[in-house]
Amino acid sequence: MTKSFQMGYRKISLLLCFFFFVIGCTKKKCEEVIDQVYVYPIEAAFGKPFDEQIKMFKIPEQTLHCLSTDALIKSCLDHPKMSLIWTNSDLQGGFDKVYAMCNGFEELFGRGDKFQKLFYLYKQLDFNRDWQTYTDLENGMYIDNIIRHELIIAQYEILNDLTASEKIELFQLALDNQKKKYEFAHQIWGTIGMATTCAILARIMYLDKYQPLVEEYNNNELMLLNVAYILDDFDTINKIMSLSEDYLKNLKNK
């Protein structure tokens, strides 16, 4: 009797310890959601050693968790080192480099509404603007911003969590946008400017094990370069667009 009482007491104590441990690990709730884009201390970091700048550009933990997903996405897009996506040999490598510098991405990929908010922002981007009324630099900054959005969406942390309807919606929009890019490929986008849209399309097909894409991936090194590294040549872009049309039809008929 005494022995069983002692064992029960131990079990209750252990349960209580576990309970308090879990409570202790729970993130503190934000008293107020921050809906403003995080302001990085760019002036203060001016001329500081590179490593120190990276530390200064980390978003403080409490702020990070309290940023609305919308503000968080914009804070990632605006990270002072985001332009370094262009300094690797491939855009996936460039993204990985910036991911390591910007703690906003890890927070973003853990958010339940990450895709909905990203997709909403992506839908707002105008691929039909009158390019001729802007300078090369203005157009360049504009397409750089689009590429940043697409590069984030193309990450497996986003694509893996898509519902069936989200997948169709994203695929359709990405394909439409790719066609618009294609019209101005030589004047505006170049091959690399189309690589991120193609990566969204190719990676969705790859994740879905779409056989024609998988066969290309296994037999064509250039297709592999797009899916794995987000690098393209013109033939691969054409191939992805052609496969995407058929895949979308299948997807809608499912």
Residues that bind other proteins (CB under 8 A): 42, 45-47, 50-51, 53-54, 80, 83-84, 86-90, 93-94, 97, 100-101, 131, 135-137, 139-144, 186-193, 221-222, 224-225, 228-229, 231-233
Q: How far is the CB of 192 from other proteins (least distance, A)?
A: 5
Nearer residue to other proteins within complex by CB, 162 or 223: 223
Q: Please, what is the minimum distance in Å from the beta carbon of residue 196 to other proteins?
A: 13
What are the structure tokens assigned to 110, written together?
């853990």
Cα 112 to Cα 117: distance, rounded to the nearest angstrom:
10
Closer to other proteins by CB, 39 or 137: give it: 137
Residue whose CB is less far from other proteins, 80 or 212: 80
Question: Nearer Cβ to other proteins, position 26 or 89?
Answer: 89
Between the alpha carbon of residue 1 and those of residues 4, 6, 8, 9, 12, the distances in Å are: 5, 9, 11, 12, 17
CB of 19 to other proteins, least distance (A): 38
Q: How far is the CB of 37 from other proteins (least distance, A)?
A: 19
Q: How far is CA 63 from the centre of its chain?
A: 20
DSSP collapsed to 3 states, 7-26: HHHHHHHHHHHHHHHHHHHC
The span from the first CA to the last CA of the chain, in angstroms, equals 63
CA 246 to chain CA mean position, Å: 25
For the bound state, the minimum distance from the C-beta of residue 104 to other proteins, rounded and expressed in Å, comes to: 15
Q: Which 3-state string (H, E, C) describes 69-112?
A: HHHHHHHHHCCCCHHHHHHCCCHHHHHHHHHHHCCHHHHHHCCC
CA nearest neighbour of 38 among 7, 66, 4, 10:
66
- Name the minimum Å distance from CB 96 to other proteins: 10
CA distances from 160 to 115, 152, 179, 205, 210 (A): 10, 13, 24, 12, 15
Smallest distance, other proteins to C-beta of residue 102, A: 11
Nearer to other proteins, 117 or 181 (CB): 181
**Quick one: 64 or 170, whose CB is closer to other proteins?**
64
Nearer to other proteins, 77 or 222 (CB): 222
**Angle in degrees, CA 151, 153, 158, rounded to 5:** 130
